[in-house]
Structure 1
């Protein structure tokens, strides 16, 4: 599948390829995520019957209900009043002053009359004098205005009556003013004052004046403290909790009439078609852009061949979409999503797959991005913020998987890492329960522990199950696949062992040498080992023509011309590639079989052909190649030559082995066999040292035991 597109993809630059792929992926991810956070809406008409029960998909504040509750709380606030404690004394003093002024006016008039020895003083003059005195009292804020008729009553009354009425009325006013009098009770208080005055034995000519003076002296002595009252009202309003329509709350039951209040709540919750909000669309759009921008920047900075970057980018995106689908599957298991189900999500799937399929450097970044995505998708309904509980859960599980998974890709290693992830999940869940819940039962805790175990095991099971898919679709030779191919029970390895036992043991030695050397220079040691097992499988077509498989000293080349022997020996590289390809083996192993001799010269038969005196074309005695294209193949070619040469050496010593290894590497360098791979001089020296050390351990001097 992947190979069918390979030629087209190879012609496109990485920038164009990544923009196209990430652009399409972002649109797909946007659509998948938007469906999980966009509010469900309904086409509902007012005063119609509801066709179904409708619940709120999010928690929203109801401003109308909240304001009603605040007004109710404000109406229940007791107003604050200020009582004027001096008002009673002041009012009584005013009453006394009015009568005293009348007495003074009469006394002054009497004095003037004695001095002038005239007829009794003019009443009008006394009234005018009294009014003038009362106006002064009124201007000071403590008096009131009386009609001339009432003033005349005071002037015409006797002094004894004025004194008696003054004392009685002032006492009544003082007693009534000692009680709180508000605006609403002023009329009642004045009526009470009038009633008590009228019950006194007051001359009829003085009664109207006494009543009016008493009534006018009664004033409001308890006034509303607007500032304090308003402060209490505002405090009462702030104490009111906002009324909310809760997520999951039933707004209308099936068959219920959609009245104005229900319609208002549906509109408020954003459940009407005409009120669809664009905020979730914009939010998910921005989130998607961030996700794929991070992925793009990572691969732009990745130091790998372009074809590898393209392949790894495609793998990363496929894994990301697999996680989205897994999340949506969990979220869709129930109509009313139970958050506990989110803990079954395979937290370590991303790091497991990326560590086994790529160099693993993308694993941490994609784990973080996946956790953020899970915070949006794995939650109960729509929420304006990510579910941080799930974000942290996926992060901790993913990090545990990243550091626990072994690079060898063995199923046992994946299973062990899965149990480790389960343990990490369980620790996080226990931590979260202890932090957020004061009480939780054993049954609840046990359920979460089962979910944590399931998450880890599901991560491992999905990894093992998905590896063949990635290997076939993307042409990936994973460590897991290499481990499978290294099994001695593999049919091709059994064929090598049974048909060419000498070649098999030679291949095992080459595998040990190349594995150790590749690990020392940072190359893929496992690939080199497995490739070495199969590199000489072409010899199974003509086993007897290769010296390691010849028994009883019989060499068929002794009876063949050099040209025929040349063809047989050189053919084993192409034959091996053909056999591996025919059996569906990975292309990397096919390349190792074809390239491990590069274009080296078959010296023995070239020299033998020259002994006949004929003009021999050197090119005819060279392997067709191509030359090694990778470090692993170059190391295998060195290990192959060194192992064969040392095996044929008589009495090998460390010095002889070192000289031989250096000579072989030098010959290959001078022959240009490493010109098409990126093997450096420093790495060649390391390879030589490792091969010498390993060969010295194998071909060391042995004690000669007595017969």
Structure 2
């Protein structure tokens, strides 16, 4: 090692510790922000519970029996379930599809289009012919006429037809006979072929020109394309056309006859699909406990489908509609849980992380319930004998009350009751609103709260578990009796045993989870307080040795504070335990505090009043840091600065006022006040009064109830007028009750005793009792060794 490297490492160690402390503080602040975020915990609550509620149902599956098989034993629905009846739904949808009539399109413009084409063609032919005559005096050729026809209509006129029209000079009579024949044809419905038409007596006809629709039954005036063309030939003959004209213009007329009535398959299929989709799936609801099949029955196809559908629905989980309903209900419960936590924190000024605690315990409790249900469902497969093979019996062994027990231990029974109101509906949601199981859960939670209300030792959890198990067993018997089920005694006894085992399981889980939650949320339970109240605690033993006067003062303050806290309904155990540690800072400079000074010079005689006030006030900060280094809970640490608040160190203030020289420097009252903060809770306020009253009571030369009462009144009045209770919710009624408790306790501590007759305290005997020796009478060590 290089010279001087050790010195540099020593000098660098404080910097490293400071950096480490700063990093720890930043991490603590960040975690404080995370734990205090209601939005974050709300999202965690929903993200954890929505999948939990949407998971496949927990419960026994029904046996898969094929059609025609014999039922080996009665089959009862183990849970309420709804499933889709695919067969019935298919039948209803098929009927809805069949009710949709085929749609036919009627082209009412076909006749007008065909006649218009004839008129335009004849007009164009005449124009071309006259133009050719004016141009060259020669009639237009057939090629010119055919070209003109194609430009107008795209029709291809056979050569013999064009030759006849040229010979007829495009006579308007011929034109009119063609139009008459078309009118006769299009009075009917012309289809391409009758072979591919859908069957049915009724159809829906749609006018493509105006969009109107109507129903026809049956179809009338329906002609195929071939029939309509033959009708056109007959109509042309009836109009006066000769055989030559019919033979020559027949092909042209056939080209003009087109279908005006067609089956719209796409529109029909679309409407049938819409009609089928409008039919909601037909749901079959099977209530829990319904007898589905009796022993010895032959399974029909419908019953086999029902069994299969039940098992498929059980594995598929809940529907989207149910998930949405569960989400809305969970959101409402979450909102009221957050509002309750906020109200409780504002009114009690404690448990800043109550909402986070409620969320964590609720989620953990429901996850445990779900996990144990899954475990029991899979373990029961290894049993083949009733009642051990019935999975529904094991539901009573689920640790439903662990959350209520934890909240009661970590906060108080009142918050435990509120937690139960939030938790039981969520449990019922997960268990498909099974009413008997819901009532069992409610009774178990109430029993768990009652069992740990007077919890003072960690071993007391076992007693609470035994109590909860007994209540569970009684609740099982009661619920099964109310349900009216004729269960064999062995089945009922096994269910009661499962309920009792569930109570023991709750106690075991709570004992494991309690320390974790205490550490995670920095909570102070009665058990932790009792551990801190052990006078063999290293910090208390050190206080007793290094500052015995302060130690005795702390013990008496604890007695006063405990009595006053009990009188006003505050946490009496916390007040007593916090009293033991509130003056630990005095052990660092014990001789500067009057209760630790022995006969002789006072250490403050050589100090100025300002310096003495600084020394006295420093025990608050030093005591806080010392207690923190010993790992005391934050709630106890907060009492150390709050028990003095911002009160004035009056003795040294008055001493400074006596030697004050206004011309040089005026004495500032703020220099003689404790740094604070003021009491934030009822316990801290009671503690401030207890500390002041105990210290003042020691100064009374002839203590009596009247003097104690006057002293208590004066101290309470001084503290109230000094505005020390502005930041806590202590009431005047509380002050009256606390004052009465102080008076009773002081009377018990400073009581009078009768004088012992014949006993003179001023005269010390040479020997305390016969046969005893003083130190001067003892033989030398060598003689004692020989003896």
- Give the deviation of 1:29 after TM superposition: 0.5
**1:305 counterpart = 2:345:** yes
Could you say which residue in structure 2 is the equivalent of 1:141?
none
Could you say which residue in structure 1 is the equivalent of 2:320?
281
Could you say which residue in structure 1 is the equivalent of 2:726?
675
Q: Would you say the 8 A contact 1:62–1:244 is kept in 2?
A: no
**1:317 counterpart = 2:355:** no
Give CA deviations for 1:420-476 in whole Å, capped at 9, x if unaligned. Answer: 11111121223345555545355x566445433332222223223222222222222
Q: Secondary structure at the match of 2:399?
A: coil
**1:5 counterpart = 2:35:** no
Could you say which residue in structure 2 is the equivalent of 1:331?
373
**2:411 maps to which of 358, 373, 383:** 358
Alpha-carbon distance change, 598 to 458 in structure 1, aligned in 2, over 3 angstroms? same
Could you say which residue in structure 1 is the equivalent of 2:398?
345
- Give the deviation of 1:396 after TM superposition: 1.6
Q: Would you say the 8 A contact 1:400–1:424 is kept in 2?
A: yes
**2:561 maps to which of 514, 526, 548:** 514
- Give the deviation of 1:390 after TM superposition: 2.4
Give CA deviations for 1:348-367 in whole Å, capped at 9, x if unaligned. Answer: 32221222223433433543
Q: Secondary structure at the match of 1:287?
A: helix
**1:578 counterpart = 2:631:** no
Could you say which residue in structure 1 is the equivalent of 2:439?
392
Q: Would you say the 8 A contact 1:3–1:475 is kept in 2?
A: no
Alignment partners' CA distance in 1, 2:581 and 2:438: 46
Could you say which residue in structure 1 is the equivalent of 2:464?
417
- Give the deviation of 1:40 after TM superposition: 13
Alpha-carbon distance change, 588 to 3 in structure 1, aligned in 2, over 3 angstroms? farther
Alignment partners' CA distance in 1, 2:610 and 2:422: 62
Q: Secondary structure at the match of 2:55?
A: helix
Alpha-carbon distance change, 245 to 270 in structure 1, aligned in 2, over 3 angstroms? farther
Could you say which residue in structure 1 is the equivalent of 2:51?
31
Give CA deviations for 1:470-528 in whole Å, capped at 9, x if unaligned. Answer: 22222222333222222223222222223222222211211121122223223322222
Mapping 1:124-139, distance limit 5 Å? none
Give CA deviations for 1:98-139 in whole Å, capped at 9, x if unaligned. Answer: xxxxxxxxxxxxxxxxxxxxxxxxxxxxxxxxxxxxxxxxxx
Structure 1 segments unaligned to the other structure (5+ residues): 11-16, 42-55, 67-241, 252-259, 379-384
Give me the TM-score of the superposition, normalised by structure 2. Answer: 0.56
Structure 2 segments unaligned to the other structure (5+ residues): 1-26, 62-76, 89-289, 381-390, 760-787
RMSD of equivalent CA atoms: 3.9
Give CA deviations for 1:640-680 in whole Å, capped at 9, x if unaligned. Answer: 01001101211111111111111112222222222222323
Alignment partners' CA distance in 1, 2:369 and 2:560: 46
Q: Secondary structure at the match of 1:488?
A: coil
Alignment partners' CA distance in 2, 1:675 and 1:564: 29
Alignment partners' CA distance in 1, 2:660 and 2:416: 64
Give CA deviations for 1:258-290 in whole Å, capped at 9, x if unaligned. Answer: xx99996787447399x968x533224323432
Q: Would you say the 8 A contact 2:337–2:355 is kept in 1?
A: no
Alpha-carbon distance change, 555 to 57 in structure 1, aligned in 2, over 3 angstroms? same
Give CA deviations for 1:358-412 in whole Å, capped at 9, x if unaligned. Answer: 343343354355444445546xxxxxx5333322222221111223322554324
**1:588 counterpart = 2:635:** yes
**1:635 maps to which of 681, 686, 689:** 686
Give CA deviations for 1:598-640 in whole Å, capped at 9, x if unaligned. Answer: 1222222233344445543332222122222222112111110
Q: Would you say the 8 A contact 1:30–1:285 is kept in 2?
A: no
**1:695 counterpart = 2:766:** no
Mapping 1:432-443, distance limit 5 Å? 432-434=479-481, 438=486, 440=488, 442=490
Alpha-carbon distance change, 290 to 588 in structure 1, aligned in 2, over 3 angstroms? same
Q: Would you say the 8 A contact 1:596–1:636 is kept in 2?
A: yes
Alpha-carbon distance change, 484 to 604 in structure 1, aligned in 2, over 3 angstroms? same
Alignment partners' CA distance in 2, 1:25 and 1:646: 54
Give CA deviations for 1:582-608 in whole Å, capped at 9, x if unaligned. Answer: 222222211111121112222222333
Could you say which residue in structure 2 is the equivalent of 1:87?
none
Alignment partners' CA distance in 2, 1:571 and 1:330: 55
Q: Would you say the 8 A contact 2:35–2:356 is kept in 1?
A: no
- Give the deviation of 1:2 after TM superposition: 7.4
- Count of aligned pairs: 494
Q: Which moved more, 1:642-651 or 1:28-37?
A: 28-37
Could you say which residue in structure 2 is the equivalent of 1:47?
none
Mapping 1:168-247, distance limit 5 Å? none
Mapping 1:40-51, distance limit 5 Å? none
Q: Would you say the 8 A contact 1:508–1:532 is kept in 2?
A: yes
Q: Secondary structure at the match of 1:639?
A: helix
Q: Would you say the 8 A contact 2:413–2:453 is kept in 1?
A: no
Could you say which residue in structure 2 is the equivalent of 1:155?
none
Alignment partners' CA distance in 2, 1:440 and 1:317: 41
Alignment partners' CA distance in 1, 2:462 and 2:646: 44
**1:22 counterpart = 2:61:** no
Alpha-carbon distance change, 617 to 309 in structure 1, aligned in 2, over 3 angstroms? closer
- Give the deviation of 1:577 after TM superposition: 0.8
Could you say which residue in structure 1 is the equivalent of 2:152?
none
Alignment partners' CA distance in 2, 1:37 and 1:527: 46
Alignment partners' CA distance in 1, 2:352 and 2:647: 33
Alpha-carbon distance change, 507 to 467 in structure 1, aligned in 2, over 3 angstroms? same
**2:518 maps to which of 471, 474, 477:** 471
- Give the deviation of 1:39 after TM superposition: 11
Q: Would you say the 8 A contact 2:59–2:392 is kept in 1?
A: no
Alpha-carbon distance change, 429 to 611 in structure 1, aligned in 2, over 3 angstroms? same
**1:705 maps to which of 747, 753, 756:** 756
Q: Would you say the 8 A contact 2:83–2:313 is kept in 1?
A: no
Give CA deviations for 1:530-560 in whole Å, capped at 9, x if unaligned. Answer: 2111111111212232222233456433444
Q: Would you say the 8 A contact 2:58–2:373 is kept in 1?
A: no
Q: Which moved more, 1:629-638 or 1:469-478?
A: 469-478
Alignment partners' CA distance in 2, 1:647 and 1:281: 74
Could you say which residue in structure 1 is the equivalent of 2:420?
367
Q: Would you say the 8 A contact 1:510–1:532 is kept in 2?
A: yes
Q: Secondary structure at the match of 1:597?
A: coil
